[in-house]
């Protein structure tokens, strides 16, 4: 039997052991929760969005279809079609005897085999043109996949910058709220000492309420921006996501270096390599090949066929009948043939001429789309460069304005604490400083996006910048 002291010691040991287990479990849960919150920079977000996008999966499925079409076109151009067949049946009524070629009424059994092959020697260059069309379509599929990837990356970049904007604005507004709370406390104290009027205190409280309202609105906008980013990335909405805020330490914009010859070179590069132009050019090439194919269909077609067939028969109900052995019959009844077929179109209700007219209209549309794509790309490149340069100027001015407004706000804060300015003047200085910060942050992010667009037109994909 254990004594009371021994039981007490054992209870303490169990309590310590239980406490250790609980702390271990809580530590593990905290570690798992910390691991669930992933910090990702912009490039990681782009990569995740591309890897998990349903649009990319659709584009890749289309590319696999294009590869299958390419394989089918190669096989259709260089390989024959081969068919084999067999049959077996019993005849219980009147039939023709294969040996005597006379009618008989004896039950018979028939079995036959055939093998045939055929290939088009000339079909208006349709096979050759289909080879070219499928090759172009395969390249267009890869280009379209790259275009989809670029669009996803740009959308991710914009959503990422929106999250950064509202994150920094929330910090700035939180600092403004803290400053406004201190100002209310100071004004209340000064009212007690007779240095401020009650109207000044009410004005400061109103300013505090305005800052708190702006902070709440900013938090809501931040939540919406984060949901948009997760949606673009195909990230689980309920799963936490933390972005790398060091992205805000962007380099200062350089002075414009876009000489006229550099702009011309970028325009020519974009006209040759932009996915929209490549796709429009590929569509135009395929439309031209389809028109040529339709015109060649007015010519005769030449085909070559060959085959082998054999059969076996017996009369199972005929008394005294001894059938020829199975394989001997197949050998004796076997036959081969070679056929050269020439098909000359004479009148098909003008369907081929109608097809030619439609293909010509399709080529005209594709040619117009290609010319429009060239014009659009040139305008987009020049507009992107102009926007980049304009945002660079705006960023430099926003930086200067933010520095001056920060200095002015610091001075006005000291003057307000000394009672040299009114609460309205102090609120005006605070608003000016907050607006300057917001415009500086917006100008910095806008410059980054517009500069990335210019680099993209220069041949650097968004995910590689």
In a domain, 238, yes or no: yes
pLDDT interval class at 11 (50, 70, 90): very low
409, 339: one domain: no
pLDDT interval class at 424 (50, 70, 90): confident
Tell me which of 348 and 320 has the higher pLDDT.
348
The domain total for the chain is 2
Contact (CB, 8 A) for 95 and 317: no
Residue found under tokens 């060649």: 296
**pLDDT higher than 60, residue 5:** no
CATH number at residue 444: 1.20.1600.10
In a domain, 445, yes or no: yes
Q: What CA–CA distances, in Å, run from 310 to 87, 117, 327?
A: 11, 16, 10
In a domain, 10, yes or no: no
> Among 344, 367, 401, which residue terminates a domain?
344
**pLDDT higher than 90, residue 305:** yes
261, 241: one domain: yes
Contact (CB, 8 A) for 308 and 115: yes
Q: What is the pLDDT of residues 348-387, one digit of tens each?
A: 889 999 999 999 999 999 999 999 999 999 999 999 999 9
**pLDDT higher than 80, residue 448:** yes
Token readout for 333 is: 């009844």
**pLDDT higher than 70, residue 391:** yes
263, 395: one domain: yes
Q: What is the pLDDT of residues 71-130, one digit of tens each?
A: 999 999 999 999 999 999 988 878 887 877 888 888 889 999 999 999 999 998 999 999
Specify the pTM.
Answer: 0.80
Average pLDDT score over the chain: 87
377, 322: one domain: no
**pLDDT higher than 80, residue 29:** no
Structural domain of 133: 42-79+123-299+349-464
82: part of which helix (H) or strand (E)?
strand 81-91
247, 394: one domain: yes
Q: What is the pLDDT of residues 31-48, one digit of tens each?
A: 434 445 678 999 999 999
288, 372: one domain: yes
Tally DSSP H helices, then E strands, for the chain. Answer: 10, 8
Contact (CB, 8 A) for 329 and 397: no
In a domain, 417, yes or no: yes
Q: Give the mean pLDDT of 198-214.
A: 90
333, 420: one domain: no
Q: What CA–CA distances, in Å, run from 111 to 93, 99, 216, 315?
A: 17, 15, 87, 12
What whole-number distance in Å separates Cα of residue 225 and Cα of residue 162? 6
Which residues contact residue 41 at a Cβ distance below 8 angstroms, ignoring those fewer than 6 apart?
243, 244, 246, 247
218, 233: one domain: yes
- Give the up-direction half-sphere exposure of residue 168: CA atoms within 13 A in the CB hemisphere: 21
Residue found under tokens 């070559």: 304
- H helix intervals, 193-274: 198-233, 260-273
In a domain, 224, yes or no: yes
Tell me which of 455 and 416 has the higher pLDDT.
455
Burial of 303 (0-12, 13-18, 19+ CB in 10 A): middle
């Amino acid at each position: 039997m254990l004594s009371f002291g021994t039981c007490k010691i054992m209870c303490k040991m169990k309590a310590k052991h239980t406490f250790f287990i609980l702390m271990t479990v809580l530590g593990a849960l905290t570690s798992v929760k910390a691991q669930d919150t992933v910090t990702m920079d912009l490039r990681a977000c782009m990569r995740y969005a591309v890897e998990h996008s349903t649009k990319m999966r659709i584009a890749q499925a289309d590319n696999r279809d294009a590869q299958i079409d390419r394989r089918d076109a190669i096989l259709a151009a260089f390989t024959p079609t081969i068919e084999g067949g067999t049959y077996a049946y019993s005849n219980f009524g009147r039939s023709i005897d294969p040996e005597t070629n006379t009618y008989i009424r004896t039950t018979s059994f028939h079995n036959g085999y055939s093998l045939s092959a055929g290939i088009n020697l000339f079909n208006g260059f349709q096979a050759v043109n289909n080879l070219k069309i499928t090759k172009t379509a395969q390249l267009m599929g890869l280009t379209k996949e790259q275009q989809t990837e670029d669009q996803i990356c740009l959308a991710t970049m914009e959503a990422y910058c929106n999250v950064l904007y509202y994150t920094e604005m929330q910090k700035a507004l939180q600092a403004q709220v803290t400053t406004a709370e201190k100002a209310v406390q100071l004004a209340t104290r000064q009212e007690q000492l007779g240095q401020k009027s009650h109207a000044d205190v009410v004005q400061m409280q109103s300013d505090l309420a305005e800052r708190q309202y702006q902070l709440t609105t900013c938090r809501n906008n931040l939540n919406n921006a984060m949901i948009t980013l997760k949606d673009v990335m195909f990230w689980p909405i309920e799963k936490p996501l933390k972005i790398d805020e060091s992205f805000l330490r962007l380099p200062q914009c350089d002075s414009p270096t876009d000489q006229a010859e550099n702009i011309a070179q970028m325009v020519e590069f974009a006209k040759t390599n932009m996915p929209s132009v490549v796709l429009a050019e590929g569509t135009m090439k395929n439309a031209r090949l389809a028109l040529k194919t339709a015109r060649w269909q007015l010519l005769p077609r030449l085909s070559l066929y060959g085959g082998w067939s054999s059969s076996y028969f017996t009369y199972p109900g005929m008394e005294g009948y001894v059938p020829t052995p199975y394989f001997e019959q197949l050998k004796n009844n076997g036959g081969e043939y070679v056929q050269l077929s020439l098909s000359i179109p004479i009148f098909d209700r003008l369907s081929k001429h109608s097809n030619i007219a439609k293909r010509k209209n399709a080529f005209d549309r594709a040619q117009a789309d290609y010319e429009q794509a060239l014009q659009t790309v040139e305008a987009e490149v020049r507009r992107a460069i102009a926007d980049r340069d304009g945002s660079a100027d705006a960023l430099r001015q926003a930086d200067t304005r933010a520095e001056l407004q920060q200095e002015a706000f610091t001075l006005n804060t000291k003057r307000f604490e000394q009672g040299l300015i009114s609460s309205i003047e102090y609120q005006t200085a605070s608003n000016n400083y907050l607006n300057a910060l917001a415009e500086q942050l917006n100008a910095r992010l806008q410059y980054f996006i517009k500069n990335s667009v210019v680099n993209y037109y220069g041949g650097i994909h968004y995910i590689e910048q």
